[in-house]
A and B are shown apart, each in its own frame.
Chain A
Amino acid sequence: MYKFAKVSSLFTFAISALSGCGGSSNILQIALDIEDEGRYDELFAYFTAETGYEIKATYGQDIGKLIGTKNEPDIIKTSTVLVSSMKESLRDLTSLIDESANVSTDKYIDSLINALTIDNRVYALPTSVNTSLLYYNKDLFDNSSSELRAALELGPEESVYPQADWDYEDYQKAGVVLSKYSGSGSGRIYSQFGAETQLTWWGEWLVYVNQMGGSFYEPDSDNRICALTSSEAIAATTFFRQKSMGDAATKFAPDAIEMTSGASFMGGNVAMIFGGHMGDWYSYDALGLNWDIQVLPTPSGLPDARGGEISADAFGISARSDNVKGAFTFLELWTGEEGALQMYKYGKVSALKNMETLISELPESEQKNISIDVVFDAMDKALTLPDERDFSKVMREMVMSEIYLLMYDGRGSKSDIVEVLTTIKNNVDAYYEGLYGG
């Protein structure tokens, strides 16, 4: 018995030592994306020097699995999209914010802090923003400058690059010029495209729908009834299809099959992305692309159309954390100006309202070589995603899967846009009826 007790206690001690159970309470844990490894060490060291708290960061771990196994860090990454699903794992920050001298919800872009607020309680604070922009490859534009001038009827002093007042017609004309192919008719083989086609997510197609005045859900339907059979949704889908499936005079993006051949903005053989992700900036630079951004083109006759998306990464505190004070102190730094400027080094733009001013005050050597003011113009015209927890599931499984059928020629493909949109509407409505009742 004595022997058993001795072995048991030694075993318990060993496990405790290995799992860090005896760790001190001035250690704060945070789980970040794999690409963030090493980027914020300087900021963490600064925080440790200022507060005495040590930041223990892990990279590339799935936060869902960490929460599921009750191994989540003190500081949890979420987003404006995920926060409603993660609410129960996050501590309500409202009283901490109210008591704080450094953090105020007024400091952040209204639409983003609103998305992180559920029933008047704030569950996370926003860090880097993602908003829909038009990305373009300057080298590809320069290579076709004379053709672009002719197609867009530009004077000798005017820039060939995308402009803030571009409409879909300008976007398409430039795209067609920037598309290069050999062969003719159905035998055309493209070596370069004017624009990418987003088929694995909704970030392009849905922007067209919104910009044209349509919406995914019927207004006042509590996000339960699909509105995709509207004339605006049909017009948007027609434009989306034509840019990939049209004839040589209208086509400027790859269809679903051509996309498998590696046509991409990052690959350097596609001139524009409509609605790309701001998280890719660092990769564009790393690949040596000569790129810039512009606000999204709008439908002809609707220069003020809203429709681009806006979302943000955000950080909250684990509901199970026993180090709330330390974690909130870190959030103050992380979501404040110091964190914003550190993230900007790696191509991320903070959700702080004064971020534009902060950037303008940076020395020129630390500024990005792109039209950063465009980001803030784009945010003003952007919309947050519908506040509906099944939205991304519905889009993935019922919407983009059907839209795909319109985007290639061959067995199983479809060409009747109204029929496809009606199928989507029926499936989505039936899904919500099954989930919530009629």
Chain B
Amino acid sequence: MAVETQSATGGVKSTLVNSTFLRVGRYTLVRLVTVFATVVVGVYLTIMIANMGGYVDQIMKNDIRDRFTQMLSTPAYRNMSADARKTLLEKSIALEEKRLGLDTPVAVRNARYLVNALTLNLGRALNMTSDSGSKEVRLIILERLPATLLLMGTSELFLFFASVLLALTLSRRYGSFWDKMVITLSPTSAAPPWFYGIFFILFFAAILKILPFGGMTDSPPPDNPIDFALNVMKHMILPASALIISSLFLSIYNWRTFFLIYSSEDYVEMAKAKGLPARDIERRYILRPTLPTIITNFALLLISTVSGAIITETVFLWPGLGRTLYRAIGLYDTPVIVGTTIIYAYLLGITVFLLDFIYALVDPRVKVGGN
């Protein structure tokens, strides 16, 4: 009854790699399309919400007016009289508004804005300017994006690895002092990062004066790149710590409970019975099967932190996307507010997709059409 296979170990291995590649490849493609569709719907909803009071229409109209006013102030039109220019301006604006369909029903307008949003044509800001002097919302936002990614990325990665590893250790010491300590401290995660941020600033910046109040670098920033990097890191300590502390203990607790539950699985006991060394068991029998869930939870954590970091950035004067949004609120700069929300939606979509991809790599049970 045994089937003869002709391949040596080498041949077996290449088929393994191929099948994984195919499986992950197919899955990734499907997920890419699905996530993209989801993002499109999400951005459309965002636009719909924003435009319920006609604010996006306003953005468009202001944009048109701006463009034509600028155009008409160029030397080519110098020869016209002020009145003639004014009439031309109004006519051109009316024509353009018609061309862009600003007189069409709401649904159609929103659809056009959707296309704009998807191509990152986010209009011009009312009051704010980017560092390079442009009023284009896209540039304003994209300039600020790296700072946010830096802060969020560092904090989240640290949080992830610290909590998973500490939790793994803790799950081996069930009922010990550290175990009880983590359980007791878990409710501290009820408070958002900016809350801890305020206390940190008070303590370390105002009272102890050893760390800066906020911002990303000293002003003026240091010249040479190494000093610059160190300076950025120094400024990143407090905000990153606030972000980490606010999720740390609950994170550790959740993973530790998770590991405890999964270490009572039958196959873990089987691994023990087989006499495998403890480290192997931890790595292959506890960590690897739970990796998909770990990744999903990490994704959710990432998502909630990214969209909630607005206040943390504000409190620490960190020049990122959140702080831009805060300033835009204060300045009532509609295009920036709407644009930032859309960019956040993209970030979330990318995060979801990336983590789906990693999930597929890690869990062999995942395939196209599965859950």
A and B interact: no
Binding site for A on B (CB under 8 A): none
Query: What residues of chain A have their CB less than 8 Å away from a CB belonging to chain B?
Result: none
